[in-house]
Amino acid sequence: MAGLYNSISVSEAAALQKEMRNKLILETLENFMVHTIGGADISFNKYETTVYAGIIVLSFPDLHPVAYSLVKTEVTFPYVSGYLAFREAPALIEAWEQLPQKPDVLVVDGHGIAHPRRMGIASHFGVLTGQPTIGCAKKILFGKYEPPLDVRGAYSYIHDKEDVLGAVLRTREKVKPVFVSPGYKLNLQDSINIILQCMGKYRIPEPTRRAHELVNAFRRGELQEGYIKL
């Protein structure tokens, strides 16, 4: 899909997000049916429009890499806070379509419904592909919250008025928390439970951390574009 969101303005993007919001589905997901989980991320050189997108598939709950997809494309939309999906989703979807077997759940680097119009990149990607997604960001974008206790696994909620949008999760003691929110086809509790099971030795949950490692290696030329079954 080259040219998706090519000549679109920010106001038009906002209108699109409001329409997509009506297509959101946040039902309960059967946790025991999750056997594979994916991590999606992109990397690029500063000042350049070439993006290196990738999706890593891990076994669940073992979290061992089983496959990955890498795609190099050109971005056509600038980075504007609140509209990340219009810049990164196209590349991620190409990497996604290149996967013969899709993971049961995909963790996207960014927010899900913890967004002004409930349409962060994880939700956006989910609505477009129909796949269950979870948003896992390193910084808050929208909503209020109290810091969670300094204990591994502790979490508090992100809220906007009466709406609970996500969770602020402490993945390790004495490190900044990460922000988790449902993207598509699963609720907040499912999202939290799954991310809790994705905590490894580092601050960033395994799916996102491995995806970030993957695309950086790709950008540095250490890996080739394509699909690899491990």
Partner DNA sequence: GCGACAG
Partner DNA sequence: ATCTTGTCGC
Is 104 labelled a binding residue? no
* Residue 41 binds DNA, judged by CB under 7 A: yes
Of the ranges 37-45, 57-65, 154-162, 163-171, which one interacts with DNA (CB under 7 A)? 37-45
Q: Using CB under 7 A, which of 55, 85, 127, 165 touches DNA?
A: 85
* Signed CA dihedral, 189, 211, 106, 73: sign only: positive
In the chain the beta strands, taken as DSSP E runs, fall at 36-44, 50-59, 65-74, 105-109, 133-137, 155-160, 163-169, 178-184, 226-229
Compose the 171-210 pattern: x for residues touching DNA by CB under 7 A, - for all others.
Answer: ---x------------------------------------
Q: What is the dihedral of CA 101, 206, 121, 161, to 10 degrees?
A: 130
CA–CA gap between residue 29 and residue 145 (Å, rounded): 25
CA–CA gap between residue 110 and residue 40 (Å, rounded): 10
CB of 141 to DNA, least distance (A): 4
Is 109 labelled a binding residue? yes
CB of 30 to DNA, least distance (A): 26
Q: How many residues bind DNA (CB under 7 A)?
A: 30
3-state DSSP assignment of residue 215: helix
* Residue 158 binds DNA, judged by CB under 7 A: no
Reading phi first (left if > 0) and then psi (alpha if -120 to 50, else beta), residue 110 is in: left
DSSP H helix total and E strand total for the chain: 5, 9
Query: Residue 100 contacts by C-beta under 8 Å, 6 or more apart in sequence?
Result: 227, 229
Tokens of 198: 């994705």
Q: Using CB under 7 A, which of 6, 46, 161, 222 touches DNA?
A: 46
Q: Based on CB atoms, which residue is closest to DNA, 197 or 216?
A: 216
The H-or-E segment that residue 87 falls in is: helix 84-97
Tokens of 110: 């960014």
* Residue 219 binds DNA, judged by CB under 7 A: yes
* Residue 81 binds DNA, judged by CB under 7 A: yes
Of the ranges 55-63, 66-74, 192-200, 215-223, which one interacts with DNA (CB under 7 A)? 215-223
Q: Using CB under 7 A, which of 45, 49, 187, 189 touches DNA?
A: 45
Compose the 107-146 pattern: x for residues touching DNA by CB under 7 A, - for all others.
Answer: --xxx---x----xxx------------x-xxxxx-----
- Binding-site residue numbers for Mg(2+) are 41, 109
Q: Which stretches of the chain bind DNA, using CB under 7 A? A: 41-46, 79, 81-85, 109-111, 115, 120-122, 135, 137-141, 174, 212, 215-216, 219
